[in-house]
Amino acid sequence: MKKLLSILLCALIAGSCVLTGCGADNSSPESSDSSSNSASSDSSDPISGIEATASTDKYRNFYQIFVNSFCDSNGDQIGDLQGIISQLDYLNDGDPNTGDDLGIDGIWLTPIMPSKSYHKYDVENYYDIDPDFGTLEDFEQLVSECHRRGIKLIIDLVLNHISSQNPLYKKAVEEVAENKLDGNAEYFEIHETSYFGSDTQVNVLSNGYACEANFSHDMPEWNLNSEKTREEFTKIAKFWLDKGVDGFRLDACKYYTNKSTDGTEFLKWFYDTCKTINPDVYMVGENWSDDSDIKDLYKSGIDSQFAFKFAQTSGTIVESLNTQSGSGLVKKLISYENKMRESNENEINAMFLSNHDQVRIANALEPKGLDTEKFAASVYMLFPGNPYIYYGEEIGTKAESTSSDAYYRTAMVFDSDNLPNIYVNTIGEDTVAPTGGGVKQQLEDEDSLLNFYRRIIKIKNQNPEIARGKITGQQNFDDKQIGAFYTEYDGSKLMIIHNFNGSDSKELTITDDMIKNAVVRADLVTTDTETHVELKDGKLTFPAHSTVILKSAE
């Protein structure tokens, strides 16, 4: 989590950005899996008749939900857990072959624990649900409903810092005032003021002491090397894992270090501790540092870390779209994967386009056309690993301003004919629907961005090699606009080919040395075009901004 807004701004935005009365079922029996973006919409569609299989392992298509902006079940203009429950059939109806849902099988919830701020990254109580969101009973119901649909649920866990209003910290402040430093003070980075450099932000205490607080003076930092802290973290992890959560998104793990330990040692301790509680626990870390730091943290054994360099409106994926450099993007991805697997051979890459700290990706892509939005989704979703879809990304939600994080956490629009209201006296604007409409409208449009995302995930569920495979090589076609690579899993190989040219179709020669007796296993075509996907006599023809997946017929 990047440096947050001031507490004042956090309070101002607290009630914004959610849909009142969004509990209606948005799954659509009339809307089947979109095939219009394929070579055809009839039985010649290559994905027709292929069985999709639900995941039973850690490989998932994750969906990030900023809880208070997703769905409001009680009309108080704040999203809540019951609101999420009401929309689970939209995300996953429990059957990967119906085609009537998005296909999400993993959910990441931003912080849900009690906090005065709207973002909840300053936790006052690690053992409860913020009353704005519901109760522990609501959470237990959410876990049960997720698991019934085959969805794994992970929650944001903030271990770098705490709220200054947390009882453990308040007690530490009282004890320091009495010159007692061997009690609660040991939980936190409390030292004499002279200990800290001039560039370190602190929470000033009494008697010449302060606590490190780099994100905000109201968010003092834990002492991660303290045995007391680690005992507390063990209790916290057990509490939530016993509630049924499947793992954690670890906030700010870039900062898991102090004078006595480094981030890798602490993260290994925490990951190993959680595995003793749930051997199948899944963890993904937020680390927006450079490759070397990410590589070091993978030595901890953590499953995933977000691939920040490829994301954001200025990241490698958008840059490659702008320059139409498909081969260059694949080369960079392979280099990144190879480096990370030197530290952890079981690493599961976590690709994404945007998140709650970044400008909505549609702000950068929508002006370039719907085909570009679709193609970007195809590119990042089809790399091996676990992709993370930021809620609303699948319908092209934009930020109405790029002036602060609060605007990036905009309302989810389920029905653009019934827009959610925000507090207009707070930021002066009403919610604006995505260009293609809300969920309801896009389900009815077979060429929508939402239906394109649904097709991508269905293809992934039909082809486990995509997520689970290791990239075994790049296929060069003497064309920098083509991004092609092989992924292999369990003895099966696919070749995934992207055409990064936004206006021209391509014709490629496919030989048996590449894929023996190749057939088109799946395709993703972003616009209506006279050029169709065709593989005939070793010649593959496919349109601009389209993707083809080849597999051996044998």
pLDDT of amino acid 422: 43
Query: What's the rounded Cα separation, in Å, for the pair 441 and 436?
Result: 7
Domain co-membership, 237 together with 345: yes
Domain co-membership, 411 together with 481: no
Domain co-membership, 388 together with 530: no
Domain co-membership, 68 together with 191: no
Domain co-membership, 206 together with 120: no
- DSSP three-state, residue 459: helix
The strand pair at 518-525 and 247-250 is best described as unpaired
Domain co-membership, 446 together with 489: no
The CA distances from residue 153 to 67, 78, 249, 315, in Å, are 13, 21, 10, 28
* Domain stop point among 399, 432, 465: 465
Contact 397, 356 (CB under 8 A): no
Residue 102 maps to a domain: yes
- DSSP three-state, residue 150: coil
pLDDT of amino acid 258: 67
Query: What's the rounded Cα separation, in Å, for the pair 345 and 341?
Result: 4
Domain co-membership, 81 together with 30: yes
- What residue type is assigned to position 285 of the chain? G
Tell me the pTM: 0.92
Token pair 């009142």 is found at 20
Query: What's the rounded Cα separation, in Å, for the pair 45 and 521?
Result: 9
Token couple for 95: 């059957």
Q: Write a three-state SS string for 24-90.
A: CCCCCCCCCCCCCCCCCCCCCCCCCCCCCCCCCCCCCCEEEECHHHCCECCCCCCCCHHHHHHCHHH
Could you tell me the CATH number of the domain that includes residue 274? Answer: 3.20.20.80
Q: What is the residue-level pLDDT of the chain in tens, covering all 554 positions? A: 444 333 333 333 333 333 444 755 554 434 444 444 443 345 689 999 999 999 999 999 999 999 999 999 998 889 999 999 999 999 999 999 988 899 999 999 999 999 999 899 999 999 999 999 999 999 999 999 999 999 999 999 999 999 999 999 999 999 999 999 999 999 999 999 999 998 899 999 999 999 999 999 999 999 999 999 999 999 999 999 999 999 999 999 989 976 677 889 999 999 999 999 999 999 999 999 999 999 999 999 999 999 999 999 999 999 999 999 999 999 999 999 999 999 999 999 999 999 999 999 999 999 999 999 999 999 999 999 999 999 999 999 999 888 888 889 989 999 999 887 643 323 445 677 899 999 999 999 999 999 999 999 999 999 999 999 999 999 999 999 999 999 999 999 999 999 999 999 999 999 999 999 999 999 999 999 888 999 999 999 999 999 999 999 97
Contact 282, 324 (CB under 8 A): no
Q: Please report the sign of the dihedral spanned by the C-alpha atoms of residue 84, residue 89, residue 90, residue 96.
A: positive
Domain co-membership, 259 together with 378: yes
Q: Which are the contacts of 56, defined by CB distance < 8 A and separation ≥ 6?
A: none
* Domain stop point among 147, 182, 212: 212
Domain co-membership, 279 together with 328: yes
Instruction: Work out the number of other CB atoms within 10 angstroms of the CB of residue 509.
Output: 10
Domain co-membership, 259 together with 120: yes
Instruction: Work out the number of other CB atoms within 10 angstroms of the CB of residue 67.
Output: 28
Domain co-membership, 337 together with 197: no
- CA nearest to 353, candidates 389, 398, 303, 320: 389
Query: What's the rounded Cα separation, in Å, for the pair 408 and 170?
Result: 32
- What residue type is assigned to position 551 of the chain? K
Instruction: Report the number of distinct structural domains present in the chain.
Output: 3
* Domain stop point among 145, 180, 212: 212
Residue 218 maps to a domain: no
- Annotated catalytic residue within 72, 93, 251, 415: 251
Size (the chain), residues = 554
Strand partners, 519: 551
Could you tell me the CATH number of the domain that includes residue 513? Answer: 2.60.40.1180
- CA nearest to 187, candidates 147, 153, 230: 230
Residue 217 maps to a domain: no
Residue 286 maps to a domain: yes
Q: Please report the sign of the dihedral spanned by the C-alpha atoms of residue 298, residue 333, residue 156, residue 55.
A: negative
Is 286 part of the annotated catalytic residue set? yes
Angle at 512 between CA 325 and CA 47, to 5 degrees: 70
- Annotated catalytic residue within 93, 105, 286, 373: 286
Q: Name the DSSP letter for residue 421.
A: P
Is 33 part of the annotated catalytic residue set? no
pLDDT of amino acid 430: 61
The strand pair at 539-542 and 506-509 is best described as antiparallel
Domain co-membership, 195 together with 320: no
Domain residue limits at 201: 167-212
Query: What's the rounded Cα separation, in Å, for the pair 452 and 446?
Result: 8
Residue 2 maps to a domain: no
- What residue type is assigned to position 433 of the chain? A
